[in-house]
């Protein structure tokens, strides 16, 4: 199992560390003097260096070491953080990712370039006066009172090492605080119940003392007071562990000096998460799917010839299986925050490349979507956001001229509505130029000149293959590939796209995506001797095809439905069943986008909750089916690919019309 | 594809199909099933025209008679489905094979194996890995990966004729 491979595990962990570092760096872009962020970056780099060396990623460890040293200067207040420095570290961060994945190209040269840029940034920053000069205290030392979280030793913290490090600063007088020792029967031997009261005589600043605790600081109680102040006060009450902010600490590091709120909640939260390989979740999902199927067979038998006892057990199992399935679905859900987070860097880079000022605002990050959906949404969203930034948003001077703020905004939001998730990408740019879309579509032969189009139809043209309104192809977008891929991906997720645009006011693209891909509501129908499932979301209505209408329509395969002509397909012909038609055939009218098609079936059986199973590779090239499902009696029904069937019907219609 | 052992032996499962004896590497076999309801896949190649529910997984059911130009026959009480796992395009694929009857697990000797002759055989040569003489009988070792890889590459026939 790959999960036990330490190298692979480190790659995953390192990737997450880099994600955190990247987020902190991006935040720093706005708040350069936020010491929490500086510390977060430093800790991330430090951990990466340490574990990198441990797992044999020496190049990574060495490179990270340089960046860490540079950042250490910022943290200690030797040099102020500058946006230039942040930008260099961001690119360094990319290089680390490449080293981590083992796909670094350019070798050491690329790294050296970045390090040279880093040196330059540090030198320049050092030239500027430090934003927050570290307050050098000419005191004789520090009075340190600290208590570690109870479970610190389980996390690998060794209190004795911390004390040793304090001793390295200067002569220490250490008193153990035993006031929180529980009685013997309540004592957990693996927990750390002891606090320490340390008086250390040193010339080092308070930050040196804080450094000792840097990796445990988040969860511990720590109070550092200068000895001079301490002497003036009454001797510190050993029992008083309330945080005492160190007045002499550098003002830029208040958050670091003040201990954060009590740690236990954070520690407990960390323990609540278990990392599970996605494939195991998928396996579990399969098993649950099978259980649901076996259960429905059981309930069929129980209702046919079972006694009361069997029926009640069967109902009990039905309830449990249903609950298990619901729980399972929730397990696969992930907040879209992980998806949205990845676009911050994209927008940051786009802003740099286009020379525009762009803000990315995200809302609704806690909305949860099936994990496979999240993975497949990334590429389409990249395309849409790129388009918004590149084509939608104007240059700063144009924006000001139009009476808008110089900074453009891209708003990314998600919220759940029923069984769907709505993801909206809104920009406040110039909007979609309808006249140009029209001209372009006519030039490409997508529409006839003077063809009447509803507004939505016109706007949807931007998703047509080979379509691009950008007069100039940039390296960002405008090649005319992309938006049609967006549409195809979203449709493969059984989602839809809506476009709205206000001239001069920006455009809004809304993606409607079903919550999960694993289970759909389907309409079970019979064609010939085979059962098929039509996704219920595509079904508009069902009607009867009377015998005389059937005969009459042999020549034209069209029905009139509320004054609109709707073409229909006889699935018996399409599937070449070779069986005689039922006397009472039905038409299921399905729709994709704006196309409607009637599917003639022999019988409508009813609603069916469908666990989707993929088709074998041997059948992947067979169009017309998206997958298959297992029915209550254990037999297999194929799920119709509506988009494919509609597409198949169109040329047929044209052929019929031409004939 | 499984190779012969150093001793020149190969452990196979032999089965009957259209009056001939076929064999496939025993390590490929996952399970032997009684016949079960099958679902036709319209538009699929005739070689694998239907699917079955194999323990909650939907797998194709292949009829090797098609590949060897034999006439389809009615199922009998001896008919079985042999479920095998093949690596196709670096992907493990489960496939059910229809057989007239399953015989036994046997050990074939490489010394008794011959490449398919160019003449005197009505079956496509590239569907056969080798022929093995055993006790006066001739056992056909089909080249299953080749058979099914061409199926993946070719895809199904168009749905609408």
Residues of A in contact with B51 (CB under 8 A): 615-616, 619, 628, 636, 638
pLDDT at A650 over 50: yes
Reduced to 3 states, what is the DSSP secondary structure of residue B88?
Answer: strand
The model's pLDDT over A180-235, given as tens digits with 9 standing for 90+, comes to: 888 888 887 778 888 888 888 877 777 777 777 777 777 777 888 777 654 444 44
Indicate yes or no: CB of B152 within 8 angstroms of CB of A617: yes
Instruction: Give residue ranges of B with CB < 8 Å to any A CB.
Output: 36-37, 39-45, 48, 51-53, 55-60, 62, 88-89, 91, 93-95, 148, 151-152, 154-156, 158-161
Indicate yes or no: CB of A635 within 8 angstroms of CB of B95: no
> In the Cβ-directed half-sphere of A202, how many Cα atoms lie within 13 Å?
23
* Residue A617 and residue B91 in contact, taking contact as beta carbons nearer than 8 Å: yes
How far apart are alpha carbons A289 and A221 in whole angstroms? 49
Angle in degrees, CA A202, A204, A206, rounded to 5: 110
The widest CA-to-CA distance across chain B, in whole angstroms, is 52
pLDDT at A455 over 90: no
Indicate yes or no: CB of B39 within 8 angstroms of CB of A293: no
Order of strands, edge to edge, in the sheet holding A625-630?
Answer: A603-611, A519-527, A530-535, A636-640, A625-630
* Residue A173 and residue A198 in contact, taking contact as beta carbons nearer than 8 Å: yes
The model's pLDDT over A257-273, given as tens digits with 9 standing for 90+, comes to: 444 444 444 444 445 77
- The arithmetic mean of pLDDT across residues A292-314, rounded, is 82
Q: What is the predicted pLDDT for the residue at A228?
A: 62
Collect contacts of A234-240 with beta carbons under 8 A, ≥24 apart: A236/A143, A236/A145, A236/A197, A238/A145, A238/A175, A238/A177, A238/A179, A238/A197, A239/A177, A239/A179
Strands A595-601 and A496-502: unpaired
Q: What is the predicted pLDDT for the residue at A138?
A: 44
CA of B6 to nearest chain A CA: how many angstroms apart? 30
* A–B CB contacts, 8 A cutoff, strictly below: 99
Which of B39, B43, B58 is the closest to A616 by Cβ?
Answer: B58
Indicate yes or no: CB of B58 within 8 angstroms of CB of A630: yes
CA distance between the termini of chain B: 37
Residues of B in contact with A530 (CB under 8 A): 39-40, 42
Indicate yes or no: CB of A619 within 8 angstroms of CB of B53: no
Burial B7-19 (b: 16+ CB within 10 A, else e): eeebebbbbbbee
More confident residue, A611 or A362: A362
Q: Which of B89, B151, B159 to mutate to test the interface with A (most CBs of A within 10 A)?
A: B159
pLDDT at A334 over 70: yes
pLDDT at A480 over 50: no
Indicate yes or no: CB of A577 within 8 angstroms of CB of B56: no
Query: Quick one: A433 exposed, middle or buried, by C-beta within 10 A (0-12, 13-18, 19+)?
Result: middle
Tokens at residue A588, please? Answer: 């299921």
CA of A62 to nearest chain B CA: how many angstroms apart? 37
Q: Which residue of B has its CA nearest to A621?
A: B155
* Residue A470 and residue A390 in contact, taking contact as beta carbons nearer than 8 Å: yes
pLDDT at B94 over 90: yes
**Confidence band, pLDDT 50/70/90 cuts, at residue A134:** very low
Residues composing chain A: 659
> In the Cβ-directed half-sphere of A66, how many Cα atoms lie within 13 Å?
21
Q: What is the predicted pLDDT for the residue at A478?
A: 43
The model's pLDDT over B32-87, given as tens digits with 9 standing for 90+, comes to: 999 888 898 988 888 888 999 888 788 999 998 888 888 877 888 889 999 999 98
**Confidence band, pLDDT 50/70/90 cuts, at residue A569:** confident
Q: Which of B45, B56, B62, B157 to mutate to test the interface with A (most CBs of A within 10 A)?
A: B56
How far apart are alpha carbons B102 and B104 in whole angstroms? 6
* Residue A245 and residue A258 in contact, taking contact as beta carbons nearer than 8 Å: yes
Residues of B in contact with A286 (CB under 8 A): 56-57
Indicate yes or no: CB of B44 within 8 angstroms of CB of A576: no
pLDDT at A407 over 50: yes
Nearest to residue A587, comparing CAs of A522, A633, A538, A541?
A541
CA of A555 to nearest chain B CA: how many angstroms apart? 17
Q: What is the predicted pLDDT for the residue at A651?
A: 58
> Quick one: what percent of chain A has pLDDT higher than 90?
4
The model's pLDDT over A370-405, given as tens digits with 9 standing for 90+, comes to: 887 888 888 888 888 888 888 888 888 888 888 888
Indicate yes or no: CB of B51 within 8 angstroms of CB of A625: no
pLDDT at A477 over 90: no
* Residue B27 and residue B11 in contact, taking contact as beta carbons nearer than 8 Å: yes
CA of B30 to nearest chain A CA: how many angstroms apart? 16
Least confident segment among A60-64, A235-239, A284-288, A336-340: A235-239
Q: Which residue of B has its CA nearest to A577?
A: B42
Q: Which of A282, A518, A577, A619 to mutate to test the interface with B (most CBs of B within 10 A)?
A: A619
Q: What is the predicted pLDDT for the residue at A631?
A: 79
Q: What is the ipTM of this complex?
A: 0.85
Q: Which of B38, B47, B50, B53 to mutate to test the interface with A (most CBs of A within 10 A)?
A: B53
DSSP calls for A298-360: HHHHHHHH--HHHHHHHHHHHHHHHHHHHHHHHHTEEETHHHHHHHHHHHHHHHHHHT--EEE
**Confidence band, pLDDT 50/70/90 cuts, at residue B29:** very high
Q: Which residue of B has its CA nearest to A651?
A: B160
Indicate yes or no: CB of A617 within 8 angstroms of CB of B93: yes
Indicate yes or no: CB of A617 within 8 angstroms of CB of B88: yes
Q: Which residue of A has its CA nearest to B155?
A: A621
Residues of B in contact with A293 (CB under 8 A): 56
- The arithmetic mean of pLDDT across residues A299-320, rounded, is 85
* Residue B108 and residue B117 in contact, taking contact as beta carbons nearer than 8 Å: no
CA of A378 to nearest chain B CA: how many angstroms apart? 25
- What's the mean per-residue pLDDT of chain A? 77
Q: What is the predicted pLDDT for the residue at A4?
A: 56
Burial A552-589 (b: 16+ CB within 10 A, else e): eeeeebebebeeeebbbbbbbebbebeeebbeebbbbb
Indicate yes or no: CB of A576 within 8 angstroms of CB of B42: yes
Nearest to residue A193, comparing CAs of A204, A205, A178, A208?
A178
How far apart are alpha carbons A5 and B122 in whole angstroms? 52
**Confidence band, pLDDT 50/70/90 cuts, at residue A31:** confident
Nearest to residue A590, comparing CAs of A605, A569, A611?
A569
Nearest to residue A424, comparing CAs of A363, A510, A359?
A510
Q: What is the predicted pLDDT for the residue at A649?
A: 64
More confident residue, B50 or A247: B50
Residues composing chain B: 161
- The arithmetic mean of pLDDT across residues A143-167, rounded, is 80
- The arithmetic mean of pLDDT across residues A348-365, rounded, is 87
The model's pLDDT over A581-615, given as tens digits with 9 standing for 90+, comes to: 788 889 999 877 667 788 989 999 888 777 778 78
């Amino acid at each position: 199992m790959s999960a036990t491979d330490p190298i692979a595990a480190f790659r995953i962990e390192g990737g997450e560390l880099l994600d955190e570092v990247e987020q902190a760096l991006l935040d720093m872009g706005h708040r350069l003097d936020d010491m929490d962020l500086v510390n977060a970056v430093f800790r991330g780099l430090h951990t990466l260096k340490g574990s990198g060396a441990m797992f044999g990623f020496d190049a990574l460890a060495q490179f990270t070491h340089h960046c860490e040293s540079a950042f250490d200067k910022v943290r200690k207040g030797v040099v102020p953080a500058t946006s230039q420095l942040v930008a260099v570290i961001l690119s360094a961060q990319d290089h680390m990712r490449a080293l981590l994945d083992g796909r670094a190209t350019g070798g050491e040269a690329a790294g050296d370039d970045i390090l040279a840029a880093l040196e330059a940034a540090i030198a320049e920053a050092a030239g500027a006066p430090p934003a927050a000069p570290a307050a050098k205290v000419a005191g004789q030392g520090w009075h340190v009172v600290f208590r570690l979280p109870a479970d610190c030793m389980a996390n690998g913290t060794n209190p004795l090492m911390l004390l040793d490090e304090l001793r390295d600063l200067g002569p220490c007088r250490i008193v153990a605080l035993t006031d929180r020792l529980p009685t013997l029967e309540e004592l957990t031997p693996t927990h750390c119940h002891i606090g320490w009261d340390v008086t250390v005589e040193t010339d080092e600043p308070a930050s040196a003392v804080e450094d000792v605790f840097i990796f445990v600081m988040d969860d511990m109680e720590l109070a550092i007071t200068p000895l001079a102040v301490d002497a003036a006060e009454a001797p510190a009450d050993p029992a008083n562990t309330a945080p005492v902010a160190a007045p002499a600490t550098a003002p830029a590091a208040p958050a670091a000096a003040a201990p954060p709120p009590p740690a236990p909640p954070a520690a407990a939260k960390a323990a609540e998460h278990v990392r599970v390989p996605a494939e195991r979740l998928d396996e579990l999902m399969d098993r649950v799917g099978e259980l649901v199927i076996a259960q429905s067979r059981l309930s069929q038998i129980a209702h046919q010839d079972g006694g009361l006892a069997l029926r009640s057990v069967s109902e009990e199992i039905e309830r449990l299986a249903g609950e298990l399935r619901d729980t399972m679905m929730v397990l696969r859900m992930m907040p879209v925050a992980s998806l949205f987070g990845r676009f911050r860097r994209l927008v940051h880079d786009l802003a740099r490349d286009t020379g525009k000022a762009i803000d990315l605002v995200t809302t609704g990050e806690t909305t949860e979507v099936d994990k496979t959906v999240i993975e497949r949404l990334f590429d389409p969203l990249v395309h849409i956001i790129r388009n918004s930034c590149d084509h939608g948003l104007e240059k700063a001077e144009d924006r000001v001229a139009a009476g808008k703020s110089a900074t453009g905004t891209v708003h990314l939001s998600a919220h759940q509505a029923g069984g769907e998730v709505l993801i909206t990408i809104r920009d406040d740019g110039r909007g979609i130029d309808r006249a140009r879309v029209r001209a372009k579509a006519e030039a490409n032969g997508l529409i006839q000149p003077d063809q009447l189009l509803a507004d939505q139809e016109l706007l949807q043209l931007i998703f047509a293959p080979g379509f691009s309104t950008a007069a100039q192809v940039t390296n960002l977008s405008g090649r005319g590939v992309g938006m049609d891929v967006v549409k195809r991906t979203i449709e493969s997720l059984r989602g839809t796209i809506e476009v709205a645009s206000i001239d001069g006011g920006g455009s809004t693209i809304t993606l409607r995506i079903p919550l999960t891909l694993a289970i759909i509501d389907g309409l079970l129908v019979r064609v010939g001797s085979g059962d098929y499932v039509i996704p219920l979301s595509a079904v508009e209505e069902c009607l009867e095809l009377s015998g005389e209408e059937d005969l009459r329509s042999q020549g034209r395969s069209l029905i009139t439905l509320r004054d609109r002509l709707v073409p229909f397909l006889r699935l018996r012909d399409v599937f070449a069943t070779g069986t005689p038609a039922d006397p009472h055939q039905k038409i299921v009218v399905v729709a994709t986008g704006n196309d409607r098609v009637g599917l003639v079936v022999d019988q409508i059986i009813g609603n069916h909750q469908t666990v989707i199973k993929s088709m074998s590779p041997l059948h992947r090239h067979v169009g017309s089916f998206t997958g298959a499902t297992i029915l209550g009696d254990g037999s297999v029904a194929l799920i119709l690919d509506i988009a494919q069937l509609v597409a198949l019907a169109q040329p047929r219609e044209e052929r019929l019309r031409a004939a | 594809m499984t190779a012969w052992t150093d001793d020149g032996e190969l452990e196979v499962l032999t089965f009957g199909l259209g009056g001939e004896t076929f064999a496939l590497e025993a390590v490929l076999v996952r399970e032997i099933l009684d016949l079960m309801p099958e679902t036709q896949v319209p538009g699929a190649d005739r070689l694998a025209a239907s699917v079955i529910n194999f323990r909650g997984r939907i797998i194709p059911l292949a009829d090797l008679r098609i590949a060897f130009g034999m006439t389809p026959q009615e199922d009998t009480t001896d008919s079985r489905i042999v479920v095998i796992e093949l690596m196709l395009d670096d992907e493990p694929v489960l496939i059910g094979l229809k057989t007239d009857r399953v015989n036994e697990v046997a050990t074939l000797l490489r010394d008794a194996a011959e490449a398919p002759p160019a003449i005197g055989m009505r079956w496509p040569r590239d569907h056969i890995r080798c022929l093995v003489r055993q006790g006066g009988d001739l056992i056909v070792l089909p080249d299953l990966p080749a058979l099914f890889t061409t199926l993946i590459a070719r895809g199904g026939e168009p749905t609408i004729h």
